[in-house]
């Protein structure tokens, strides 16, 4: 779908590489630019996991199908070579802080003046304006904590807890991708590129936009409640006899409680005056949750699935990662892919989030190759830009490339 689009990615960790990674899956040529020692996330698992961990599935997932160039941006000759590469691109994606980009002549104003059709995607913690524009911001800090997501998510009275690896980053990567695709379409009409400004802070706040809209309108928002104090006790989690938790949800119109009461074999509950309305169910939430807990504890998840499906009740099992990995529906939805490891083997990983089916039964979203090694394609890429062997040796001698 994006064949013919060249993307240069000067970025580390996850948010910006995630956006470029999806573009690679969709057919774009993506060149990942790293410092000579490589993207810091390459060593992440080695720093926190057992010594026998092999490979880095976190890095591989967001960087598969890219070509790799390693260069010292602080080196004058390295910066010049990188700028030449960027000037050959349709899209430049970076999460380097603005000050460092300006020193290398890779800031938006400079590149836009020299190549007006270039689309420039900046991914930062806090945006490109304001006193915190140069503040470093990982997703747990900017997306999770400062954006209010951590405070809102933790049930009232409990301590904040950490965000899972890359959750805010991948959400921000999707937001960045949306901006880039919009700019590519706009360029077909105007011939000009534009600055795309994505930030973990803005995306984090957007991820809780419904609650934030309430806060902005009324000056307050309900906290997240514990199970027995839920605003709607029927929208809740219940543990089955097998130990698996079940997520139960009601619809917003029609008979709210009747189908659930029938499924659990207690139809009289739906006409009990304590549970007739949303207000009365909330007032009697503790008792209602205790009653439902007792009922759901009588059967395993498979039996409850059959009963709830028969009444067209919305539900889902609360699955572990191991269970998700074996989920037949996730497999059918195209959630998983195999990534070449560059040595003749493959490793199972996660597909990009949108399936692009072709008429012949194949898909346009697919893995184009393994994640690159550090600087794996440096010489090839620079030769494409016109550097000959002597020029490459000069860059090596200057310390610009390995």
Six token digits for residue 258: 């009747």
Take residue 55 and report the two structure tokens written for it. 């490979």
Of 355, 351, 354, nearest in space to 367 by CA: 351
The residues pairing with 199 across neighbouring beta strands, listed in sequence order, are 124
Q: Which of 90, 169, 365, 388 is catalytic?
A: 169
Q: Three-state DSSP class for 290? A: helix
Angle at 291 between CA 290 and CA 294, to 5 degrees: 85
Decide if 169 is catalytic: yes
Under a CB-based contact definition with an 8 Å cutoff, are residues 147 and 206 in contact?
Answer: no
Cα 73 from Cα 177, distance rounded (Å) = 25
Phi, psi dihedral angles at 326 (to 5 degrees): -105, 10
Residue 198 parent element (H or E) = strand 195-199
Work out whether strand 236-239 and strand 245-249 pair parallel, antiparallel, or are unpaired: antiparallel
| CB 142 within 8 Å of CB 200 | yes
Q: For residue 81, count other CB atoms closer than 10 A to its CB.
A: 25
Structure letter (DSSP) for residue 228: G
What does the block give as tokens for 6? 């060249």
The total number of residues shown for the chain amounts to: 402
Kind and range of the H or E run holding 94: strand 91-94
What radius of gyration do the chain's Cα atoms show?
Answer: 26
Tokens representing 183 are 């700019």
Whose structure tokens read 């097998």?
242
Catalytic site positions: 169
């Amino acid at each position: 779908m994006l064949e013919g689009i060249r993307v240069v990615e000067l970025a580390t960790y996850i948010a910006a590489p995630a956006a470029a990674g999806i573009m690679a899956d969709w057919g774009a040529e993506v060149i990942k630019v790293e410092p000579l020692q490589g993207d810091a996330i390459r060593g992440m698992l080695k720093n926190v996991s057992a010594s026998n961990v092999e490979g880095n599935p976190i890095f591989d997932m967001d960087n598969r199908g890219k070509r790799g160039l390693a260069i010292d941006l602080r080196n004058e000759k390295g910066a010049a070579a990188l700028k030449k590469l960027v000037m050959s691109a349709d899209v430049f994606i970076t999460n380097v802080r603005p000050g460092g980009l300006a020193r290398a002549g890779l800031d938006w104003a400079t590149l836009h003046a020299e190549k007006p059709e270039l689309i420039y995607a900046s991914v930062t913690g806090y945006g490109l304006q304001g006193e915190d524009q140069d503040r470093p911001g990982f997703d747990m800090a900017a997306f999770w904590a400062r954006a209010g997501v951590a405070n809102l998510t933790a049930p009232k009275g409990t301590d904040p807890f950490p965000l899972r690896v890359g959750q805010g980053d991948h959400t921000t990567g999707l937001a960045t991708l949306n901006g880039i695709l919009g700019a590519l379409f706009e360029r077909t009409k105007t011939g000009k590129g534009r600055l795309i400004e994505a930030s973990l802070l803005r995306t984090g706040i957007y991820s809780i936009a419904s609650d934030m809209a309430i806060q902005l309108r009324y000056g307050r928002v309900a906290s997240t409640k514990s199970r027995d104090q839920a605003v709607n006790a029927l929208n809740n989690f219940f543990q089955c006899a097998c130990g698996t938790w079940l997520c139960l949800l009601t619809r917003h119109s029609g008979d709210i409680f009747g189908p659930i009461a029938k499924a659990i074999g207690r139809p009289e509950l739906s006409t009990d005056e304590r549970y007739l309305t949303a207000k009365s169910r909330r007032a009697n939430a503790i008792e209602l949750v205790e009653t439902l807990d007792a009922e759901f504890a009588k059967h395993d998840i498979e039996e409850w699935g059959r009963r709830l499906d028969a009444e067209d009740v919305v539900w889902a099992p609360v699955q572990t990662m191991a269970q998700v990995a074996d989920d037949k529906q996730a497999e059918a939805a195209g959630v998983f892919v195999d990534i070449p490891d560059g040595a003749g083997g493959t490793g199972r990983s996660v597909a990009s989030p949108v399936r692009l089916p072709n008429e012949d039964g194949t898909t346009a979203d697919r893995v184009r190759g393994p994640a690159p090694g550090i600087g794996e394609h440096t010489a090839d890429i620079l030769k494409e830009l016109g550097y000959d062997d002597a020029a490459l040796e000069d860059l090596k001698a200057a310390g610009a490339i390995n």
